[in-house]
Chain A
Amino acid sequence: DGGITQSPKYLFRKEGQNVTLSCEQNLNHDAMYWYRQDPGQGLRLIYYSQIVNDFQKGDIAEGYSVSREKKESFPLTVTSAQKNPTAFYLCASSTTGYGYTFGSGTRLTVV
């Protein structure tokens, strides 16, 4: 079945560490996105990519970095510069029309 796989489901990070969240899709979608969700709030866009080797900052990119070396993969690194990284992170992909697919998310906690 086609879809988006995010791993890990839960992630714990120590202060000052960088961590990388994985996002893989087999939908052949060109565009991919990373969103952050804080408790009781909507999703906010971190980064997005329209094609391989190209990506743009979203509304809250500070403290995050991404890469898009393959069409299928769009990993997100939460760097030590992100002061409040504890949140739920959702990856998504889209194609033409209104098709828009989300992964099941990664819950990141700073310990």
Chain B
Amino acid sequence: AQKITQTQPGMFVQEKEAVTLDCTYDTSDQSYGLFWYKQPSSGEMIFLIYQGSYDEQNATEGRYSLNFQKARKSANLVISASQLGDSAMYFCAMSRRGSARQLTFGSGTQLTVLP
């Protein structure tokens, strides 16, 4: 079975500073994908970044980067230069094997950006 653990229920960061959101995972699969989603108060899930288990380089998308440490089974999200609009719930997720790519989610981290 796959499991995602996010140990930070809430985080605060000052505007324009960087913040790291932690995510560890557990799986026996060799091939898997790791995702980060942002969920604002409106509820929609916004895709941020993806890392494949065989990708050698850490994924980056604009201000988002994924610090992938395969041996430690961690996939932390780094947000650089935080903005007030970054305040939201952030979820780490893992895709399972198979043609249907069901996602297993962590419990989320509520990020608040302070002015």
Contact residues of B between 69 and 115, Cβ < 8 Å to A: 91, 93, 95, 99-108
Q: A31-B100, A50-B100, A58-B102 are in contact. Are A100 and B47 (CB under 8 A)?
A: yes
How far is A31 from B105 in the complex, measured between Cα atoms in Å? 18
Q: How many residues of B contact A (CB 8 A)?
A: 24
Q: Say how far B40's CB is from chain A's closest CB, in angstroms.
A: 11
Cβ distance A34 to chain B, nearest Cβ, rounded Å: 11
Query: At the interface, yes or no: A48 with Cβ under 8 Å from chain B?
Result: yes
* Chain A residues with CB below 8 A from B100, complex form: 31, 33, 48-50, 56, 94
Which residues from chain A contact B52 at a C-beta distance below 8 Å? 98
Known: A43-B91, A98-B52, A98-B95. A104 touches B44 (CB 8 A): yes
Task: Tally inter-chain residue pairs, CB-CB below 8 A.
Answer: 64
Given A41-B107, A43-B91, A98-B95, residue A88 in contact with residue B43 (CB < 8 A): yes
For B93, list chain A residues within 8 Å (CB). Answer: 42-43
Task: Indicate whether B11 reaches chain A with its CB closer than 8 angstroms.
Answer: no
A-B contacts, 21 listed (Cβ < 8 Å): A35-B103, A35-B105, A40-B108, A41-B107, A42-B4, A42-B107, A43-B45, A43-B91, A45-B102, A49-B100, A50-B99, A88-B43, A90-B45, A92-B103, A94-B100, A98-B52, A98-B95, A100-B95, A100-B101, A100-B103, A105-B43
Residues on A close to B: CB < 8 A?
31, 33, 35, 40-45, 48-50, 56, 58, 88, 90, 92, 94, 98, 100-105, 107
Extra inter-chain contacts (10) besides given A40-B108, A48-B100, A107-B43, CB under 8 Å: A40-B107, A41-B107, A42-B91, A42-B93, A43-B91, A49-B100, A90-B43, A94-B101, A98-B50, A104-B42
